[in-house]
């Protein structure tokens, strides 16, 4: 799908840029990393690179002309694609191009007056050419609702569903069908990775898969078109123009040319300024980004073979370059020579010994970058919002766990499932919340909600991040019931089988790192809860009992509170109740 290329803001004082030179013309193929233009700003002349593969369909600012920041200067897309709708959406384009033509038209006025008869003859042909894009552009505007059009055509649009309350986009983990396959209404079309789990999306209709809008591994916004199912041979181009913009386009006709089918990527163009020294490397054809990466890695760029047009060196050439023995830097060779010479030289007398020479160590900086998963995106967003908007304060208390350890041993002799210390803490928290309803509350902006039910979220670590399944009505459940439920949640969380109902609706959260040997820590509140309890491990430490120092088993807990809802005294009273319950576990049974 065609994408506009706008004039970027390349410096803090830049308001417009001048196209110093175009390296591509309309109709040329453009590959990722190709230099398409040079832009003169108020600071320097910079290279303008493309990160998109496609054809240059339109140039909005000619060489020597100025374009305001964010003005459309080019359009990239598929060969022959209609881009007029993009120009009509951008009012700045006419303001950029029309004034620039005025001087040239004024200079040619006398010549045009002489050629008036010829121009009159050509007028009908030019009028037809100029009006043609306008006719094409009117079709999408009058198409109406894409879903209604699809129904009239006998097709069904499959959109990215809202699979959780926090979901804003989903990633296609796997397609189970490809374009041209027959689909039944209950068939699983694809697996979608959300911020919580991986779920299936069904076809909803019988027919042929005509269109796939998002490639495997790519993300799509909620309600964006991801597929179209209908009668074989149905033309769905009108539906795509009237519907939301797809992230990628793989139509049925693409099967004839599988090697050329590539997912369209978001059109991004970067510009970098670099002052090049007047040495031999400055005459090489290389992008500024490639030169910078080569410099950072210590690579002699003259040894790199360029893969772009005209042998130009781009980013991927530097990243894939592997130096040989002949292309090693002089410093490496010199270090090797120095090392060999030091081994062959005879030992000098101790009296005339030279100062110690620190040997050189040649290393290579390496790193790996991975796309951020949907789960990690939501964790980052929600916890950042919580920490930076909720005024946190923390209360820490030490709890004597001797009695709890003895009680747990006795309980496990009769319980149908093994009771853990985490289960006992969860039950004690539920009982304490019943006595302190102000802690079991939520901040809702213009009001505070005091929850009368007790739903406790239990933080569970998984491979991609963190999930918080909810034990509902925990105050009314037995230790055995709580233990079995938490174990089931943990197993399903790690296998990505949890459903949205399993992690929604918590009123309080517990995060326990005691099993990892953590003494104490502070946790970030899980919105919309007002508090979260961070539980550390049980440590054997000296304690004073009846005036004597004896071995004791102490567990530290830290309560993170939202000061908009919970005050210090309120949080402290809750911790005192929790301490009393765990130090006398029999009270949990009352």
Query: DSSP 3-state assignment of 232?
Result: coil
Least reliable range by pLDDT among 118-122, 241-245, 472-476, 484-488: 118-122
Structure tokens at 75: 């359009």
Domain 3-107: state its class.
mainly beta
Which residue in 89, 235, 296, 567 is the catalytic one? 567
Q: Which of 235, 58, 78, 25 is nearest to 133 (CA)?
A: 58
Q: Is the pLDDT of residue 495 over 80?
A: yes
Lowest mean pLDDT among 66-70, 180-184, 307-311, 412-416: 307-311
Q: What is the CB neighbour count within 10 angstroms for residue 143?
A: 15
CA distance 437 to 451: 7
Confidence at 43, pLDDT banded by 50, 70, 90: low
Cite the residue boundaries of each domain of the chain with CATH code 3.30.559.10.
374-589
pLDDT score recorded for residue 509: 97
pLDDT band at residue 416 under the 50/70/90 scheme: confident
* pLDDT score of 247 more than 80: no
pLDDT tens track for 141-177 = 333 356 667 777 788 888 888 877 678 889 999 999 9
- Assigned token pair, 433: 């919340």
Main-chain dihedrals φ then ψ at residue 547, nearest 5 degrees = 80, 5
- 179 DSSP 8-state letter: T
Instruction: Name the phi and psi angles at 311, rounded to 5.
Output: 75, 20
Question: What per-residue confidence (pLDDT) applies to 401?
Answer: 95
pLDDT value at position 111? Answer: 46
Cis peptide preceding 531, ω within 30 of 0: no
Report pLDDT for 66: 85
| Residue of 23, 392, 481, 563 marked active site | 563
Q: How far apart are CA 24 and CA 48, in angstroms?
A: 11
Asked if residues 19 and 36 have their Cβ atoms less than 8 Å apart, the reply is no
In the chain, % of residues over pLDDT 70: 75
pTM: 0.51
Q: Which CATH class is domain 146-256?
A: mainly beta
pLDDT of residue 54: 86
**Burial code of 303-317, b = ≥16 C-beta within 10 A, e = fewer?**
ebebebbeebbbbeb
571 pLDDT more than 90: yes
Residue 255 has pLDDT above 80, yes or no: no
Residue pair 499/197 in contact by the 8 Å Cβ criterion: yes
CA gap 201, 187 in Å, rounded: 9
Per-residue pLDDT band at 514 (split at 50, 70, 90): very high
4.10.320.10, 3.40.50.620, 3.10.310.30, 3.50.30.10: which CATH number matches 280-341? Answer: 4.10.320.10
Q: Is 567 a catalytic residue?
A: yes
* Residues 267-314: tens digit of each pLDDT: 333 333 343 343 444 456 777 677 878 887 888 888 888 887 677 787
pLDDT at position 194 is 83
pLDDT of 552 higher than 50: yes
Q: Out of 3.30.559.10, 3.40.50.2300, 3.20.20.450, 3.90.480.20, which CATH number does the structure's domain 374-589 have?
A: 3.30.559.10
Assess whether pLDDT exceeds 80 at residue 457: yes
Q: How big is the chain by its Cα radius of gyration, in Å?
A: 34
Grade residue 265 by pLDDT with cuts at 50, 70 and 90. Answer: very low
Q: Which whole-number Å values give the CA distances from 277 to 152, 181, 282, 494, in the listed order?
A: 64, 58, 6, 55
Mean pLDDT (the chain) is 78
- Residue showing tokens 């989903």: 170
Residue 249: is its pLDDT beyond 70?
A: no
Q: Identify the pLDDT of residue 575.
A: 97
Stronger pLDDT, 115 or 417, i.e. the higher one: 417
Measured distance CA(514)–CA(524) in Å, rounded: 17
**Mean pLDDT calculated for residue range 441-460:** 94
Q: What are the residue ranges of CATH 4.10.320.10 in the chain? A: 280-341
Whether 241 and 81 have beta carbons less than 8 Å apart is answered as no
Q: What is the pLDDT of residues 84-132, one digit of tens each?
A: 888 877 654 444 444 444 434 444 444 444 444 444 444 444 444 443 3
The residue among 496 and 353 whose pLDDT is bigger is: 496
Catalytic-residue membership of 563: yes
CA nearest neighbour of 59 among 82, 76, 78, 79: 76
**Backbone angle region of 140, left / alpha / beta, with phi > 0 → left and psi within -120 to 50 → alpha:** alpha
Of 6-10, 272-276, 514-518, 564-568, the one with minimum mean pLDDT is 272-276
Every domain range in the chain assigned CATH 2.40.50.100:
3-107, 146-256
pLDDT of residue 91: 56
Burial class (CB within 10 angstroms; exposed 0-12, middle 13-18, buried 19+) of 168: middle
């Amino acid at each position: 799908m065609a994408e506009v290329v706008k004039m970027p803001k390349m410096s803090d004082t830049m308001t417009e840029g001048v196209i110093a030179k175009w390296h591509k013309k309309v109709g040329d193929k453009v590959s990722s990393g190709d230099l398409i233009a040079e832009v003169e700003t108020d600071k320097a002349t910079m290279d303008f690179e493309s990160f998109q593969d496609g054809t240059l369909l339109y140039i909005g600012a000619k060489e020597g002309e100025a374009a305001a920041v964010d003005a459309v200067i080019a359009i990239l897309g598929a060969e022959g694609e209609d881009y007029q709708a993009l120009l009509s959406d951008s009012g700045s384009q006419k303001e950029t191009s029309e004034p620039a033509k005025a001087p040239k038209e004024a200079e040619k006025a006398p010549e045009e007056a002489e050629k008036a008869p010829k121009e009159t003859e050509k007028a009908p042909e030019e009028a037809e050419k100029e009006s043609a894009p306008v006719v094409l552009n009117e079709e999408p505007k009058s198409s109406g609702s894409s879903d209604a059009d699809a129904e009239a055509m006998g097709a069904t649009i499959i959109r990215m569903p809202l699979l959780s309350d926090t979901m804003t986009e989903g990633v296609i983990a796997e397609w189970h069908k490809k374009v041209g396959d027959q689909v039944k209404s209950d068939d699983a079309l694809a697996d979608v990775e959300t911020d919580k789990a991986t779920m299936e999306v069904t076809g909803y209709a019988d027919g042929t898969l005509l269109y796939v809008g998002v490639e495997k591994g790519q993300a799509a916004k909620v309600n964006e078109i991801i597929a179209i199912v209908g009668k074989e041979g149905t033309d769905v181009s009108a539906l795509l123009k009237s519907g939301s913009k797809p992230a990628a386009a793989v139509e049925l006709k693409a099967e004839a040319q599988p090697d050329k089918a590539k997912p369209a990527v978001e059109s991004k163009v970067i510009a970098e300024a670099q002052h090049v020294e007047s040495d031999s490397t400055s005459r090489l054809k290389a992008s500024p980004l490639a030169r910078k990466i080569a410099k950072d890695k210590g690579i002699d760029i003259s040894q790199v073979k360029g893969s772009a047009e005209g042998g130009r060196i781009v980013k991927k050439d530097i990243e894939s370059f592997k130096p040989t023995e002949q292309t090693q830097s002089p410093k490496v060779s010199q270090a090797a020579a120095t090392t060999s010479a030091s081994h062959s030289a005879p030992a000098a007398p101790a009296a005339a010994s030279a100062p110690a020479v620190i040997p050189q160590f040649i290393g290579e900086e390496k790193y790996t970058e991975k796309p951020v998963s949907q789960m990690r995106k939501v964790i980052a967003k929600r916890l950042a919002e919580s920490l930076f908007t909720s005024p946190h304060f923390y209360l820490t208390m030490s709890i004597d766990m001797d009695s709890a350890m003895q009680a747990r041993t006795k309980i496990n002799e009769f319980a149908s499932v093994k009771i853990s210390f985490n289960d006992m803490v969860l039950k004690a928290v539920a009982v304490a919340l019943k006595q302190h309803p102000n802690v079991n509350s939520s901040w809702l902006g213009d009001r505070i909600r005091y929850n009368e039910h007790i739903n406790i979220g239990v933080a569970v670590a998984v491979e991609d991040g963190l999930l918080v399944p909810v034990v509902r009505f925990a105050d009314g459940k037995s230790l055995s019931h709580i233990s079995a439920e938490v174990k089931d949640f943990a197993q399903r969380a790690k296998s990505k089988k949890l459903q949205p109902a399993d992690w929604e609706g918590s009123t309080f959260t517990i995060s326990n790192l005691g099993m990892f040997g953590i003494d104490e820590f502070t946790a970030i509140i899980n919105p919309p809860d007002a508090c979260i309890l961070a539980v550390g491990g049980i440590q054997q430490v000296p304690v004073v009992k009846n005036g004597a120092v004896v071995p004791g088993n102490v567990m530290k807990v830290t309560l993170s509170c939202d000061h908009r809802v919970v005050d210090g005294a309120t949080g402290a009273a809750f911790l005192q109740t929790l301490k009393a319950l765990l130090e006398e576990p029999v009270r949990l049974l009352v």
